[in-house]
Chain A
Amino acid sequence: MSLEQSYIDLYAANRAKLLAGAPDSLNQYRDAAMEAFSTQGFPAKKVEDYRYIDVRAAFDGKQNYSMLLKATPLTAIKGNPISVNNTELLNRYYNKVADNHDPITALNTALTQECLCIYLTKNQQLEKPIELNDIFAAGVDQMEHKRILIILEEGASAVLLLHYMTRDKYHYLATQVIEVFVGDNATLQLYELEETHTSCTRFNNVYFHMGRYATVKHNNISLFNGTTRNTIKAYLKGEFGEVTLNGCVMADKNQTVDNNTLIRHEVPNCTSHELYKYVVDEQSVGAFAGKVYVAEGAQKSVSKEVNQNICASDEARMYTQPMLEIYADDVKCSHGSTVGKLDEMALFYLRQRGIPLAEARMLLMQAFVGQVIDEIPITSLCDRLHIMIEQRLKGELDQCVGCARCNK
């Protein structure tokens, strides 16, 4: 039986339960999504967008994952922007920017059980940042398909932190699709922070749909993980939109982090920035593919993409692929990527002053990725992340489950 067939069967076996547990606004897309998934199958490594990650290996049934089948819709609290399976919102926005061309999204659309909705009405300003802690703590090996919808109506603004954590040592396989609609003049800062463990596999697809004068700052921080693929697509649909896709990755042991981003300038006068920094150490693998697409007629587009990486060990691997595809003539676009080692001269300088090699390496790595954190305009979050990065580099956040090296 093919790997795909096992997921098709899984769907068939659970379809009735899925339909019973969720509203029509989710259910109506399931069959078509499953169909799209089975036509495409899991992307092979020769598929351009999935060159650097072995999707089949990630989804193969070596682990006997149980599937979470709970359906307990939360009741919406008045004034609270968060709700679950909010039919009205789902009808308007669900599955409108995500699409079945990505088999992972298709699989998620077929199998997800509920959709977390975060909704800000016109001109609503969220006073305090919202932190959502997504904790893997099932007590069994588990597969999860998560779905989030974030909507900022015209002129709204919000700061959201999605914090992914593990609380036990079981294997997790998760897909997640986040659809984000940022209306005209709305501003969203979205932080994603992963702090899971070496037996956690996550496929996270994020879609931004942006209006006129909409601003998005996305910062994607991989502090500790197993195998992670983030696919981030930003669609600049209204003039004068501005999107920033930043991220940093610290990987060692047998960790893999693959970030694949697309920024589409579909109309004139939009700006995009991208800064991704990786430190890959030991036997880890990092991948970055960043495509900026400027559509015909999208004049005065400005885009700057930077990807800088440090391979701190001889065994670590880093793949980087910045891409520009431009069909307009009056644009200002640049991209650049570097892969280097830790600066030997700087290391020696620190050691001459008495700082032991391991600590000197740590200081340099921290300084390197810290630049991405420094771009965060919220001081308290910035400070907290700097501390977390320091702890991470000191090994204080290590959570190794059957990892090749620690085998704890």
Chain B
Amino acid sequence: MLRIKNLHARVEGKEILKGINLTIRDGEIHALMGTNGAGKSTLSNVIVGHPKYEVTDGSITFNGQDLLSMTPEERSHAGIFLSFQSPVEIAGVSMTNFMRAAVNARREALKQEPLKSTEFLKLMRDTQKLVDIDKKLVSRSVNEGFSGGEKKRNEIFQMAMLQPTFCILDETDSGLDVDALRVVADGFNKLRTPQTSALVITHYQRLLDYIRPDFVHVLLDGKIVKTAGPELAKEIEDNGFDWIKE
């Protein structure tokens, strides 16, 4: 599904990613851990095509397509979704208008008819129940005045609306209380198909109890320095990163 080769990337002239190699196959869940500032969010932003991040070397293919030559919206239509570490607030744009535009843009890209208004509203309602997000949140402006946890829930709601095939969860667990964490993880698991794959960025073992990874990678200073099975997450939780650095 996703193949990253020797990826180097800069932001504001500073090299952050220094040769990332990572392959994620259909249906696989990969966890990505690492110290603050190691470059985890940078990697997510590069995958979704944020214009501030400049790729200086390497390649990314997604289902065989050259991802780096695609616009952010094309990457989205191809099935890539990023649950942002810090979702932005967009005053004056209602969740409904936002989601209608997003759902129909994707449908257009897939050469499907736009949803009728009633169909769309039903999809909103059903999805809102599925991920157990408050109806009131969905009727407000995008993330405006949402609490940290509500923003994360809203990311999962959008994910459910758009049904991506490859999801990046960038610290979606941070700021969630225990119940919310379970709801969010359940939401994700319900959406999963056998083909859905994910890159789950987290600092904590607890999310990985709900979303079981096939692999755990450690990113330090712009490079993946260790890859192992799920037990690695437990080791990091107990012992930190110092033992890997050496």
> Which residues of A are in contact with B by a Cβ distance under 8 Å?
343-346, 348-357, 359, 363-364, 366-368, 370-371
Contact = CB atoms under 8 A, between A and B. Distances in A.
Contacts of A359: 101, 105
B123 interface: no
A364 B90 contact: yes
A349 B90 contact: yes
Contact of B72 (A352, A363, A366): A352
A104 B156 CA distance: 58
B218 interface: no
Given A349-B90, A355-B105, A366-B93, 19 more contacts: A346-B93, A348-B51, A350-B98, A351-B71, A351-B72, A351-B76, A352-B72, A352-B73, A352-B76, A353-B98, A353-B102, A354-B76, A354-B77, A354-B105, A354-B109, A356-B73, A359-B101, A367-B92, A371-B91
B223 to A, nearest CB: 25
Interface stretch (B27-35, B81-89, B198-206, B228-236): B81-89
Contacts of B97: 363
B50 interface: yes
Nearest to B48: A352
Given A354-B162, A355-B102, A356-B105, A349 B73 contact: no
B87 A355 contact: no
A308 to B, nearest CB: 11
Interface string B17-36: 00000000000000000000
B76 to A, nearest CB: 4
The interface centre, meaning the residue of A344, A345, A355, A359 with most chain B CB atoms within 10 A of its CB, is A355
A345 B88 contact: yes
B240 to A, nearest CB: 32
Interface residues of B, number: 30
Given A355-B105, A359-B105, A364 B88 contact: no
Given A346-B90, A367-B90, A367-B92, A357 B73 contact: yes
For chain A, what secondary structure do more than half of its interface residues adopt (helix, strand, loop), or is it mixed? helix
Contact of A364 (B72, B93, B105, B162): B93
A366 to B, nearest CB: 8
A342 to B, nearest CB: 11
Interface in B162-189: 162
Contacts of A348: 50-51, 72
Contacts of B72: 348, 351-352
A32 to B, nearest CB: 49
B2 to A, nearest CB: 16
Contacts of A370: 92
Interface of B: 48, 50-52, 71-73, 75-77, 81-82, 84, 87-88, 90-93, 97-98, 101-102, 105-106, 109, 141-142, 158, 162
B88 A346 contact: yes
Closest 10 CB pairs of A and B: A367-B92, A354-B76, A353-B102, A351-B72, A354-B106, A367-B93, A345-B88, A354-B105, A346-B90, A355-B101
Contacts of B88: 343, 345-346, 349
A190 to B, nearest CB: 25
B162 A353 contact: yes
A352 B82 contact: yes
A371 B141 CA distance: 12
A357 B77 CA distance: 13
B51 to A, nearest CB: 7
A200 to B, nearest CB: 29
B69 to A, nearest CB: 16
B112 to A, nearest CB: 13
